[in-house]
Structure 1
Amino acid sequence: MDYNETYPLVSILIPTYNRPEYFRLALNSALAQTYPNIEIIIGDDSTDNKTQKLIEETYLPLYENLTYIRNQPALGQFENSLMLFDQAKGEYINFLMDDDLFYPEKIQKMMNFFIADKNEELTLVTSFRKFIDKEGIDLAGGPLNMKIYETDKIVSGIDLGNHILTSCHNYIGEPTTALFRKKTLTIPFGTLDGRIYNCSVDLATWIYLLSKGNAAYIAEPLSCFRLHAGQQYHTKLVEGVEDLTHLVTTSKKYGFLQYKQDRQQSLQKVFNWIINALMHQYHQAGEKGKVERLEQCLQVVQKELDLISF
């Protein structure tokens, strides 16, 4: 049997920006994968040459499967991710954010599901992941990091998507967490229904992929999501609410929330998110523009809820 049939090529894509120390740890975790057929592509948006120097002096001379791209000028996180996706030669894609980590057997254990999937019914494989702090120390589990299932399981993409949408919780995880089949993603990563997401780029893509087939869940942790002060989501509350509003109000056309009760539950969750965000803005004397954007989301969701009640 052909080597590439036995071990299809997996592309690990690492967008990075001014985090050479975290990036080095992330890259090392990609290079430590036990799966034998991997390419690693790095898109560097940094404003200095620290990451470039690290790559060119320490890694490029040693690893033939490593491609380094210095973006000049910088592309921005969204365009950088799209560029990496376009550069990927692998049949399968796994993003690795430059402050996260892979466990050594992550790709192998996930690819085992795809290799066994002869009818190509799977669109993505995800797993439980651990949260770590800025020093790499494990953080206690909590409501943001719960197991979906206690054992490995293959589930309907529609069922899992409905579970995500009715709870407004990303049970699949961040871009680092999931491995997916490249050809299934026929729209740009981080978009849904023609809209570019500004915060929940992962959820936009997961919902699209879940609409196309099944998902596999691995109950053991296979990656680490690092929480630290430098992450953008700390300052993207309004963008996150706008993304969530669009996600829930758009998802029906992708086969989700077909039952009135599910749709109502999902919309009510978003409604509560918006109210909490507005209260936060009022308390912080937030910018008028942000308050208006949240009020627009509230109007959209309220209109949907009113339609359901008739």
Structure 2
Amino acid sequence: MALNPRFGNPRKPLVSILIFNYNYGPYLRECFDSVLAQTYDNIEICFSDNASTDESWNIALEYQARHPNVIFIARNRRNFGPDANFSNCWGNARGKYFVELCSDDALLPDFAERCVRVMESDREIAFTLVHRAILDEHGERHEEPPFYNTSCRIEGPEQAAVYMMAAVNPAISQIMYRKAITHGKSVVGGLAARWYGTRIMDFNICCDFPIAYVKEPLMLHRMHLANDSFGAASNMMEVIGPYVLNHQFADTANAYGHQKVVDRLPASIEKVAGLALRYSVRALLAGHERNARRYLDMATAFCPEIRDNETCIRLSRYWTLQKPEERRDILDTLAIQDNLVTRSVSYDPPPGSTPLP
């Protein structure tokens, strides 16, 4: 089906796909093609490039020439950061709904159709969050359990309480937003915008509006060494960030009177400490002993009681052992520990959730 953007169509609203890019040329064609292959045809693409030094801009020019009425492209004269890329796309997006699609990710063909159907059937829903599948550095697809075990409508404050304990959607590409609702909910500027801007926006939205969750994987999230997630993991942002965010979330929830969210702050800090142990194990398995030790120390700093945790005991013992085979035994045990290195379970939706029609 060829895309045919139409503004102001009440029966089939326009969806804007905002694609931000910097030096992801090797993945960009797959990203563009995944949008062009959507079963929902009222879609426009707003693309912005942050002065890439690879083939990205030539690829964008190629696709824009082939689809001039579908794709808007812009390029910054130098890398001004993620805010500049977002502004380029946002200023040209006309859709009732929008998706922030990372240029190394891809959408499955029915992503837009499923999300629009959900939000058109319930005008209170602020965004639809879908499950993902993983693409590794070789392009191989890997499945993971959905976060929730059923597709459902979730009351906003209940989802906000879950956000205190878990990110839920590790990839920003997993969400379609109702554009009018996002005004005043986002954050810009530096590291907060780059890694946590959308998480703050999602939490702020949930303080006011219900959201929807689709358990089927409708997008592909690519994991590779140039991915922002790897950078965040190496500089401790994947743990420091949630620790700071949870305090900010609690302050925000308190202003809304969502006491259940506020009351979860102590438990959320314990969960962050456990997350630090998870990243310590991941770092060890990847051969990065220094980072592993830093994560272990951070876990005990956030929650001293975690020293009694079995995983923490094993990690601490690792550095007391001299023989390589003894250290390897510790790693082998940690690698197969259930729900440690990666999440291996799905959860019941929060109280008050209702199945999607």
TM-score (norm: length of structure 2): 0.70
Distance 1:276 1:8 in 2: 42
Q: Is the 8 A contact 1:147 1:219 kept in 2?
A: yes
Distance 1:21 1:213 in 2: 38
1:137 paired residue number: 140
1:51 lines up with 2:56 in the alignment:
yes
SS at match of 2:260: coil
2:155 paired residue number: 156
1:172 paired residue number: 169
Q: 1:51 to 1:252 in 2, by over 3 A?
A: same
1:14 lines up with 2:33 in the alignment:
no
Distance 1:17 1:28 in 2: 18
Q: Which runs of 5+ in 1 are unaligned?
A: 303-310
SS at match of 2:129: strand
Q: Which has the larger radius of gyration?
A: 2
SS at match of 2:164: helix
1:29 paired residue number: 34
1:66 lines up with 2:67 in the alignment:
no
2:267 paired residue number: 265
Q: Identify the match of residue 125 of structure 1 among 123, 128, 139.
A: 128
Q: Is the 8 A contact 2:182 2:205 kept in 1?
A: yes
Amino acid at match of 2:105: D
1:249 paired residue number: 247
Give the root-mean-square deviation of aligned CA atoms.
3.2
Distance 2:175 2:280 in 1: 32
SS at match of 1:200: helix
Q: Which runs of 5+ in 2 are unaligned?
A: 1-6, 305-357
SS at match of 1:114: helix
Give the share of equivalent positions with the same residue, in percent: 20
Amino acid at match of 1:157: G
Distance 2:212 2:133 in 1: 18
Distance 1:130 1:190 in 2: 27
Q: Is the 8 A contact 1:43 1:69 kept in 2?
A: yes
Q: Is the 8 A contact 1:17 1:46 kept in 2?
A: yes
1:305 paired residue number: none
Distance 1:276 1:69 in 2: 40
Q: Is the 8 A contact 1:92 1:181 kept in 2?
A: yes
1:85 paired residue number: 90
Distance 1:109 1:170 in 2: 22
Distance 1:76 1:177 in 2: 22
- How much does 1:274 deviate? 5.2
Q: 1:53 to 1:136 in 2, by over 3 A?
A: same
1:207 lines up with 2:203 in the alignment:
yes
Amino acid at match of 2:97: Y
What per-residue deviation string (whole Å, max 9, x for no partner) do you get for residues 18-37 of structure 1?
12220110011011112222
Amino acid at match of 1:164: Y
SS at match of 1:5: coil
What per-residue deviation string (whole Å, max 9, x for no partner) do you get for residues 198-245 of structure 1?
423332222122112111111211101111111122122322323212
Distance 1:103 1:63 in 2: 23
Distance 1:13 1:249 in 2: 30
Distance 2:199 2:248 in 1: 13
